[in-house]
Amino acid sequence: MKDMKISAKNVQVYYGDTHAIKDVSVEIEDNTVTAFIGPSGCGKSTFLRCLNRMNDTIDICRVEGDILLDGEDIYDKRVDPVQLRAKVGMVFQKPNPFPKSIYDNIAYGPRIHGLARNKAELDEIVEKSLRRGAIWDEVKDRLHAPGTGLSGGQQQRLCIARAVATEPEVLLMDEPCSALDPIATAQVEELIDELRQSYSVVIVTHSMQQAARVSQKTAFFHLGNLVEYDDTTKIFTNPEDPRTESYITGRIG
């Protein structure tokens, strides 16, 4: 049994009057890839964004319930979301490199969090992160070229490397492959599997095959409810809830 990294209890999310997440409780393990699947608009991305309080940037969004990271309530008044997000990194649906050089993209996080004492250390962090992002070999000769000049798959791996550079404990990924072609997708999936060694990874995905390929645990969301949460193999071979089964077999979605 692995450690519990994040545990959410009775989480409710409202967008203005809309009840977007209804009473969701879930335990996310360390060193595991957890996949959130479900039809569009089921709340899986919303829930993901609760885990590092990205929803704070949306005025009308309101979160109730407890979300604990290593036993500490992340919605506690004393918690600074900035400090939280340093621990819980995020990779987005569309690759969003900053309009800076590749080097500066990676160095951005370490700089704002003060992770490097000097230029040499920063160089080291950048190299390590790019290696972890499995993109080092492709960009090592043009670290000072703009990050926006890379291809889509490279950009997304750059964004993953950027997230890794701040040494988070949890990595949230919101459909990281939806904008990528199959080859780039395969590269990113391979990367996710490697990242599992060091982090707890939570991935929202539209593709059931992807969930089956990369994750160990899967949660199925439907209309704001968490329908079923179990080992990935169990969900895909022997789901308990009929709704899960319908979704897996392609009848709803």
Partner 1 sequence: MSDASLQNGPEMGTPRAKSSLLELDQRTKKRNAAEARFRAYGIAAIAVGLVFLVVLISSIFFKGVGAFQQTFITLDVELLESKLDKTGERDIEKIKKVTTFGYNPLIENALKAAMEEAGVENPFAKGKDLRKMLSSGAAADLRDFVIANPDRIGDTVQFRLLASSRVDGYLKGRVTRESLARDKNLTPVHLDVVDQLKDAGVVAKSFNLGFITGADASESRPEQAGIGVSMLGSFYMMLVVLACALPIGVAASIYLEEFAPQNWITDLIEVNISNLAAVPSIVFGILGLAVFIQFAHLPQSAPLVGGLVLTLMTLPTIIISTRASLKSVPPSIREAALGIGASKMQTVFHHVLPLAMPGILTGTIIGLAQALGETAPLLLIGMVGYIASNYPGGLIEGFMSPNSAMPAQIYEWAKRADPAYYERAWGGIIILLVFLMTMNIIAIILRRRFERRW
Partner 2 sequence: MSAFWLLMIILALAAVGFIMGRRRAISSVQGDGRLLHSLPNYYGFNVAMLAFVPAVLVLGAWVIIQPMLISGQVSTHIPAALYEDAGQLNLIMSDVKRVADGLDAAILQGVLSADDASLLNTETTDVRALLGEVGVALGSDVAPSVLSAAQEMRGKTVSGNLIMTIVVLLVAATGFVAAMMMTRRDFRARNAVESGVKALLIAAASIAILTTIGIVLSLIFNTITFFGMFPASDFLFGLTWSPEGRGGSEHLGILPLLWGTIYISIVALLVAVPIGLFAAVYLSEYASRTTRAIAKPLLEVLAGIPTIVYGLFALTVVGPLLVNFFGADGLGWMQGARSVMTAGLVMGIMLIPFVSSLSDDIINAVPQAMRDGSYGLGATQSETVRQVVLPAALPGIVGAILLAASRAIGETMIVVMGAGAAARLDLNPFEAMTTVTAKIVSQLTGDSDFASPEALVAFALGMTLFLLTLGLNVLALYIVRKYREQYE
Residues that bind partner 2 (CB under 8 A): 52, 54, 57, 59, 82-87, 89-92, 94, 96-100, 108-109, 112-113, 159, 162-163, 166, 172
- Shortest distance, CB of residue 178 to partner 2, whole angstroms? 13
DSSP 106-159: HHHHHHHHT--SSHHHHHHHHHHHHHHTT-HHHHGGGTTSBGGGS-HHHHHHHH
The count of residues interacting with partner 1 (CB under 8 A) is: 29
77 vs 250, beta carbon nearer partner 1? 77
Q: Which of residues 205-234 bind partner 1 (CB under 8 A)?
A: none
194 lies in the site for partner 1, by CB under 8 A? yes
Amino acid at the residue 206: H
Q: Cβ-count burial of 118 within 10 angstroms (0-12 exposed, 13-18 middle, 19+ buried)?
A: exposed
Nearest to 5 by CA among 65, 51, 47: 51
- Shortest distance, CB of residue 4 to partner 1, whole angstroms? 14
- Shortest distance, CB of residue 152 to partner 2, whole angstroms? 13
Question: What H or E segment, with its residue span, contains residue 193?
Answer: helix 182-195
108 lies in the site for partner 1, by CB under 8 A? no
9 lies in the site for partner 1, by CB under 8 A? no
Q: Which of residues 68-107 bind partner 1 (CB under 8 A)?
A: 69-70, 72, 74, 76, 78-80, 82-84, 87
Q: Which does 76 bind (CB under 5 to 8 A by kind): partner 1, partner 2, none?
A: partner 1
81 vs 253, beta carbon nearer partner 2? 81
Q: Which of residues 119-138 bind partner 1 (CB under 8 A)?
A: 125, 128, 131-132, 134, 136
Site string for partner 1, 143-172 (x = CB under 8 A): ------------------------x-x---
12-18's contacts with Cβ under 8 Å and 24+ in sequence apart are: 12/63, 12/64, 12/65, 13/43, 13/46, 13/47, 13/50, 13/55, 13/61, 13/62, 13/63, 13/64, 14/61, 14/62, 14/64, 15/46, 15/58, 15/60, 15/61, 16/60
Q: Which does 131 bind (CB under 5 to 8 A by kind): partner 2, partner 1, none?
A: partner 1
Cα distances (Å, whole numbers) of residue 189 to 21, 98, 116, 125, 209: 28, 23, 29, 23, 11
Q: Which residues bind partner 1 (CB under 8 A)?
A: 30-31, 69-70, 72, 74, 76, 78-80, 82-84, 87, 112-114, 125, 128, 131-132, 134, 136, 167, 169, 194, 196-198
